[in-house]
Structures are given as C-alpha cells and as structure tokens.
Structure 1
Amino acid sequence: MAKVKTLFRCSACSYEVAKWVGRCPDCGAWGSVDEVAAVAGPAAAAMPGRRALLPSTAATPISAVDSMVTRARPTGIDELDRVLGGGLVPGSVVLLSGEPGVGKSTLLLEVAYRWALAREERSLYVTAEESAGQVRLRADRTGAVHERVYLAAESDLATIFGHVEQVKPTLLVVDSVQTMLTADADGVIGGVTQVRTVTAALTALAKSSGIAVLLVGHVTKDGAVAGPRTLEHLVDVVLHFEGDKHTTLRMVRGLKNRFGGVDEVGCFELQEDGIAGVTDPSGLFLHHRGEQVPGTAITVAMDGKRPLLGEVQGLTVPTPIPSPRRAVSGLDYNRVAMVLAVLQSHGNLQLGKFDVYAATVGGMRLSEPAADLAVALAIAGSVRQVALPPGMVILGEVGLAGEVRAVTGVRRRLAEAQRLGFTQAVVPRGVDRSGIEMKVLEVSDVRAALRQCVRKESKAD
C-alpha cells in the first residue's frame, strides 16, 4: 500500500518545497504555498523528480457517471437557448462579452427574471457598476420585477459568497467580472491577477454547488474579452453580444461552448421596454423594401446555421478628382476593392471616374465571400442605371479572374429566399439546388452575370 506523505506546493507555479514558506522561492508569489498529500510508491518511482499526489476523489467508471447532471435547463429566452445549446447547465459558468451600451445588462436581467418566473427557484443579480436603484429602474421599464429575483450591489467577492449562502439561488448573474475584488489576490480591480482569481473562485462555486453562473465581461477596443486569456479557458461558455448602436438589431454569437456547438447565432431587437428575441431576422433587413431601384441587390448570408437575407446597396457618382472616393459600410473593404477591380478588368466598367459607395441596410454585416456577386451587380446596376429583376436573390464568390465560384449551403439559402417570396436566383454553376422551385440562373463568370441581369449599356462602358 502506498505511503501517504505531505508536501507543500505553490498554487501559481506548482513548485514544491519540503516545508511551508510564505513566499514561493520560484515565482515569488505570496501566500500561494499550500499543503498537499503525496503518495510514495511505484507511481512516484515512474516519475523521476516528481511525487504522485493522493487524489481527493477516486476515479469513476464512465458508465457510472450520471449524464442528467449536464442536462440544459431553458432560460425562457428561445434565441439565447439556441446559442447555449438548449439552455443553462447547472454548475456551468457562462461569460457574456460585448461593448458598453450594447444591452448585456438588459439581457441578463431578463434571463434572471425568466428563470425565476418559470420555476420555483431564486436568481441573484449582483451588480458592481450600478446602484440597486438603477437596476430597479431598468427592471420596472422592462417588466423584470419578481419576488424571486434578488438584487445585490456589491463588488467584494467574499460578500457575494455571503449573499449566495443567504439567498441560495440556482442562478447567479455577476455584472461584471472586471469590477469584482477579492482580498485573496494582489493588484487593482480589473487587473490580470484579480480577474483570474475572481473567475476561478466563481467557477469553483458553480462546480461545487451546482449554481449556474452568468458573468458579464468587458471588451477591449479590438473587440476581444478584456483580461487574461486564461479567463476564457476557465469558463464553460463564451458568448459575444454585438450590434450597431444606431440600430435595434443585436446578435449573440457563441465563441466557445463545452455543452454544444458554436455555429448558432441568436438575434434580438433592443426596444424601449426591453429586449426581445427575433425568430425571423430577415424581416428586419427587408421590411423597408419597396420598388426595385438601380444599385440594390439581395443576397442570403449564412450566420452560423441560420440563413439571413440582406440588402446590398451600391452608389456611383461621377467625380472630377483624379483619386475617386471609396466608402464601405457593413462590408469588408478589401473584398469590395477586389470586386471593383474585377468589374473594371473583366466587366468592362470604367470606374476610375466615379466615387463608389457600398453598404448594407439595417445594420447587417456581411463578411463572407458569398456576397461578392451581389456587391458587383449592385454597383454595376448603379453605373448603368438598371434595376435588377424583382424577386431576385444573388449568390456567389467572385475570383480575381472574373469567375463566379460556388459557396456553401446554397440549397438552404435558396430555401429561405423561397420561403420569403423570392422567385428568381443567380447562383454559380454546378451547385446543389434540389427541391428548389425558384427560377435559378447559373452563371460562370462576372461578364455572364452582367449580361443576364444588367443588360442596358451606359456611357461608362
């Protein structure tokens, strides 16, 4: 039988010493050396220079593990459950990041309300950025007041743990993790050490008690989660909440999910009385459409597994200056520049005397290559002052040689367009369109697409 001994190990760098010291001799961290059990036996002999540790719990046969403990519980918000993979798993830690003012606090307050409303359980909302009165005003405005939703305006982690002991919630919302402070770590609020220690403590709380924890995370100017990179490794799910401040559309994207896939996106509309899920987001981008005019084209983008119809607009204005202006909104600037070069080289369009503006409508962002052909036909339609046929959607990636290449998910994209009443489509050659009843026009290159859809010649040719 293995003989149990004790040794002292640094929790920061795993350096081992024979007796307790206040400061780790290796990394210099204070108060990080803890006593652990070690096993002296064959396992230790197989690792020269290392000693085997006595496990706190024995290994369990995988057949004996209860899979019900990781079953997701719906939050009551269908669009959020779609991204989470069915809902919140008890004992999981979810990090929701996003820019200031995008609506993170509004969404999570709604989650806390729906959670308490749907079941006889309590939810605890902890805020360190706002006062309790401010949160109550938001709850009154959005209708998220419930007797089982508890509110605490605290920033000290130990005090928050005390609230958890008193309230005994099954859902804990922390807004935000960068504003929490613990006495167990050095550094200022929001620093690397503080954020890592707070997140690790909240993760340990979730795993030991089965409480689902939702953390709000700040982002940097580049859009990444603020704080150490280990923050994303500590949590189970990382979601990103995004949207244009000038529009009502908001989207939640999954960046990491240990309980499901990350190929789903949830769509929301931020309203005066709260935030609501949008089951058919294509209507947000197309509800304003009227008569087809020159310079517009409709395409279908794939956002995760969800097809979204969006409108691309192009405007060309003659200019006397030798360096014409190129302005892009909602599209990839480099891809638009490439499309302009292809139109001039292979489409017989002289764009050197035109200012070119390209944009999407309704706050939609299109970055995938499938929108290339729609951008090309919208700009060509503006130059030639020809409107595309009504009820037409356009799909295809444009190559530098002028060819139109196939894109993924064409059948799903066309099915969505057909559901919304579109009757025609322009697609690359050789794509799968089985089961589609629309009139489908296959093109091999940009010149063929212009010849079929934008027939009128202009002085710019």
Structure 2
Amino acid sequence: MVKIKTQFVCQDCGYSSPRYLGRCPNCGAWNTLVEEVEKSNKTDKKTRVSFSGNSPKPQLIDEVNVQDNPRTTTASVELDRVLGGGIVPGSLILIGGDPGIGKSTLLLQLSGQLARQELTVLYVSGEESAMQIKLRAQRLGVKGQQFYLYPETDMTSIHQYIDKLKPNFVVIDSVQTMQEPEMSSAVGSVAQIREVTAELMQIAKTNGITIFIVGHVTKGGAIAGPKILEHMVDTVLYFEGDLHHAYRILRAVKNRFGSTNEIGIFEMKEGGLYEVQNPSEIFLEERLSGATGSAIVVSLEGTRPILVEIQALVTPTAFGNAKRTTTGLDHNRISLIMAVLEKRAGLLLQNQDAYLKAAGGVKLDEPAIDLAIAVSIVSSYRDAQSQATDCFIGELGLTGEIRRVNRIEQRVAEAAKLGFKRVILPKNNLAGWTPPRNIKVVGVSTLSEALKVTFN
C-alpha cells in the first residue's frame, strides 16, 4: 500500500520539518517552508539501466575502455578552455547566471556548433515555444540538420524522446521548469529539482549523453534549489557580467574533468556572443594617460595571463572611522596591504577612505596582485603617477618583503606583447629564465625598494 507523507520543505536549503515554521532553523530564511506531499513506495527502486536494457556490473579498472581522445571540441575556444579541453561524453553540466545574462544564447549557439559537426542535439525548453526559439536562432545564425527543438516540461515525455532520438547532447532550459509527474510538489520546488536532476544524471551516465542544464540563481547569486544539485553534476559554470556592459565571463566553480581556475570571456553583440581572444587589450583600452591611483598587474586566470588595471582612490575621511570599499578585489586583502603600507612604508592611512576596483568587471584573488594594489594606493595617496608603460607582479608579505610568484615567464611575455617597457617583479623570480628583449625586468626584494623604483 502506498504511504502518503506530508512535510514542509525549505525552498532555499532543502530543510524538511513535520510542521510549518515561519523561519527555517537551518538557513534562517523567513517564509520559505512549503508543504509537499510525497508518495513513497519502497518496492519502486530505480537502477541505472541504459536505453538498450543493459545494467552496469562490477568491472576491473584495467578492463575499462577509454578512448584516446574522449572529449568533443566545439567551435568556441573559450568554452573548451573552461571545460578543460572539450566536452566529456556522459557529463552533466550546470550553467547558472543572472536573468538576461546570456545563458540560453550561449547554449543555443553551442547547439548549432555541435549540430554542424553532424552530432544530434535535443534542445528542451520549458520557458519558450519552438517558434520563439526559432526566431532567436535566426537572429543568431544558428541552424543544423541534427538540431531538434522540444518545448516540454514533463520529464516522462522528455525521457521518451531522448530514448527515441538517442541524441549526443541534450540541453535542458531550465531545470526549475521541469517536473516529475510522480511528485505532487510544485514545479521548481526542492523535491522537484532533486528528482529531475537525479533522472537526468541517470540518463547521462548510463547512455553516454552529455546534458547541459540551465539553473536559475537567487537574489544572492547562488543557484536556486538544494545544494545537492551542485554536488550531483560534474561541472558547475557561472556566467557572470553586468547587464549594462557587453562583456561576459564564464567561470568554472566545479569541474571533475579540468581546472576551476580557467575563465572564458565573451562579448555580447546583436548577433550573439563573440569570443574575446585578447582580453588584456579590452581591460586596458580605456585607461587614462597621466592618471594617478592606477597600476597594471599581470594576473593569471588558470593558464591565461591577463593584464588588468587596478584603480585606487584615497581621500581624507569625513567620519570617525575610515571607509574601505572594493570592487572585484578581496576586502580583507586590501585591509592587510594598507596595514603593511602604514607600518613598513610610513604612510598614514588610518584617517583615509580607500576605494579600490579591478577595472573591466573582472574579479582578482591571486597573491600576485598585491604589489600592484600597493602601488595604486601609494600613487593616489601621494598624487604621483607611475609610468604608463610599467606593470607590477608580486606577493606582499607582512614584513614588507616581495615574495616570488608562479609562471613568471608567461606573465612577462604577455606584458611585452602588449607593449609594456618595464615590469617590476620579485627578485627571487629572476633566476632560471631569459626575459624578452623588448621589456626591462626589475627585481625588487622589499616594498620600499619597489616604491623607490616606481616613483623615482
């Protein structure tokens, strides 16, 4: 006999309670518990069975067959870089981002690229009709002989057509609109998202089908639904950017088949998303000549060196406590660097408001940006500009020393390629390599030495 169970589930974190609560005791959110009725049948056990009827069996690891190059490369170099070199068959990839940022556009263009490689793609949309998707595809120039559109939200029907078409790739747009008919809870609830993702994972793993899932985000920027959603998938990608600017950044926060330090940069135009092959030029093209409070850093995002302008504005505070505001930089790192400047460089910053940002909307969090941040703060504080052709690389220690950083050759080569004449870097990084001829390399050991070289 089927047993009916009623419980109240938090729509933010998935916490369940036998009675209604105004505030979730797990995450602290108010009015997020919704009543859900689940039918539990202990005889209904789901096992991984492929469309051909085969079930997995224990197998020796030496007997598992792996292709020489199992990844599928796309026409997007940026996307392949973020995924770790291409798409792994049978993977489950979750893409999240703010509304209107370009998630559906990215996947629609990707589907067209894969269809042109004579791969079968099924695009399932729960938010648009087939005609609406076709109109957008015409604007983006997307077409393909093996590209199928299917506007549906019922997972039973979707499963049947996946079994019938046997596509190589499936796009689900979005997981919050899909529903399991056996579940009585509302569409988009924690229970529905959990069950839909579990079924998609079973389809992907047993049949070798790569499935892309679009996920909505909450007002805090996290992917809506239970945290188990991110644990179940193989890769979690965030599509970031400002709706008022054209540039978008694709960032991996989880990747079982590659690095999570890679980023892909795109530009949104009328014809869709276009790759930015040289993002350093984009981040530096609007830099003012002769401006104070500016320093160029060669940051490393995964395997890609990027030149970014660090801007600082230091002004006397009008209140009792000095204010520290950052954009794209870690607030605690800025406080640490300002404390080192006050102690080791003799700057009186405790009565100064400081506003810092990484220009271009990029987020920097590696230690090699410390020296550039310190130089930009000193430049604004003294109202003295650094040379426009200088760039800075180095980690700053609490005792005022400049510590070595990794992959210095690639960083200096990128600066030389963009026309910079001098790079100031840790002295311990000078050994073991030969810098390019068209750039001067200056090694420094302390913060005081770096400031003396920069402003004298």
Under TM normalisation by the shorter chain, which class is it? 0.7 to 0.9
Deviation of 1:425 (Å):
1.3
Deviation of 1:107 (Å):
0.4
SS in 2 for 1:97: strand
Deviation of 1:58 (Å):
4.4
Identical residues among aligned pairs (%)? 41
Partners in 1 of 2:167 and 2:130 — Cα distance? 18
Match of residue 196 from structure 1: 194
Kept in 2, the 8 Å contact 1:324–1:355? The answer is yes
Match of residue 116 from structure 2: 117
Normalised by the length of structure 2, the TM-score is 0.83
Larger Rg: 1
Match of residue 286 from structure 1: 284
Letter in structure 1 aligned against 2:41: G
Match of residue 427 from structure 2: 429
> Are the structure 2 counterparts of residues 255 and 385 from structure 1 closer, same or farther at C-alpha, using a change threshold of 3 Å?
closer
Match of residue 448 from structure 1: 449
Kept in 2, the 8 Å contact 1:157–1:180? The answer is yes
Match of residue 75 from structure 1: 74
SS in 1 for 2:127: coil
Partners in 1 of 2:166 and 2:149 — Cα distance? 13
Gaps of 5+ in 2: 8-37, 48-53
Deviation of 1:320 (Å):
5.1
Match of 1:269 among 267, 274, 280: 267
| Cα deviations by residue, 1:287-333 (Å, 9 ceiling, x for unpaired) | 22353432211001111221111001122334555444433222222
Kept in 1, the 8 Å contact 2:262–2:303? The answer is yes
Match of residue 207 from structure 1: 205
Say if 2:53 is the partner of 1:34.
no
Partners in 1 of 2:248 and 2:281 — Cα distance? 14
Match of residue 93 from structure 2: 94
Letter in structure 1 aligned against 2:186: V
Letter in structure 2 aligned against 1:67: V
Match of residue 313 from structure 2: 315
| Cα deviations by residue, 1:343-363 (Å, 9 ceiling, x for unpaired) | 223222233554432222111
Match of residue 22 from structure 1: 2
Letter in structure 2 aligned against 1:450: L
Deviation of 1:35 (Å):
6.8
Match of residue 411 from structure 2: 413
Letter in structure 2 aligned against 1:439: K
> Are the structure 2 counterparts of residues 345 and 182 from structure 1 closer, same or farther at C-alpha, using a change threshold of 3 Å?
same
Normalised by the length of structure 1, the TM-score is 0.82
SS in 2 for 1:370: helix
SS in 2 for 1:386: coil
Deviation of 1:402 (Å):
2.6
Deviation of 1:67 (Å):
1.1
Match of residue 40 from structure 1: none
Partners in 2 of 1:387 and 1:274 — Cα distance? 39
Kept in 1, the 8 Å contact 2:116–2:145? The answer is no
Match of 2:232 among 231, 234, 256: 234
Letter in structure 2 aligned against 1:416: E
List aligned pairs for 1:2-401, cutoff 5 A.
22-23=2-3, 30-34=40-44, 57-68=56-67, 71-119=70-118, 121-318=119-316, 321-401=319-399
The alignment covers a number of residue pairs equal to: 416
SS in 1 for 2:202: helix
| Cα deviations by residue, 1:126-183 (Å, 9 ceiling, x for unpaired) | 1112333432332222222445322222111112223334544322100111211011
> Are the structure 2 counterparts of residues 304 and 221 from structure 1 closer, same or farther at C-alpha, using a change threshold of 3 Å?
farther
> Are the structure 2 counterparts of residues 227 and 442 from structure 1 closer, same or farther at C-alpha, using a change threshold of 3 Å?
same
Match of residue 24 from structure 2: none
Partners in 2 of 1:36 and 1:210 — Cα distance? 18
Partners in 2 of 1:310 and 1:204 — Cα distance? 43
Letter in structure 1 aligned against 2:108: L
> Are the structure 2 counterparts of residues 312 and 87 from structure 1 closer, same or farther at C-alpha, using a change threshold of 3 Å?
same
| Cα deviations by residue, 1:396-417 (Å, 9 ceiling, x for unpaired) | 2223333322233223222221
| Cα deviations by residue, 1:341-391 (Å, 9 ceiling, x for unpaired) | 222232222335544322221112222232122111112112222221232
Deviation of 1:204 (Å):
1.9
> Are the structure 2 counterparts of residues 226 and 308 from structure 1 closer, same or farther at C-alpha, using a change threshold of 3 Å?
same
SS in 1 for 2:44: strand
Partners in 1 of 2:258 and 2:381 — Cα distance? 47
> Are the structure 2 counterparts of residues 343 and 389 from structure 1 closer, same or farther at C-alpha, using a change threshold of 3 Å?
same
Kept in 2, the 8 Å contact 1:24–1:32? The answer is no
SS in 2 for 1:297: strand
Gaps of 5+ in 1: 1-20, 38-54, 456-461
Kept in 1, the 8 Å contact 2:316–2:351? The answer is yes
SS in 1 for 2:67: helix
> Are the structure 2 counterparts of residues 29 and 182 from structure 1 closer, same or farther at C-alpha, using a change threshold of 3 Å?
closer
Kept in 2, the 8 Å contact 1:377–1:454? The answer is no
**Segment of structure 1 superposing worse, 82-91 or 194-203:** 82-91
Letter in structure 1 aligned against 2:2: G
Partners in 2 of 1:123 and 1:36 — Cα distance? 26
> Are the structure 2 counterparts of residues 345 and 262 from structure 1 closer, same or farther at C-alpha, using a change threshold of 3 Å?
closer
Letter in structure 1 aligned against 2:282: L
SS in 1 for 2:267: strand
Letter in structure 2 aligned against 1:123: V
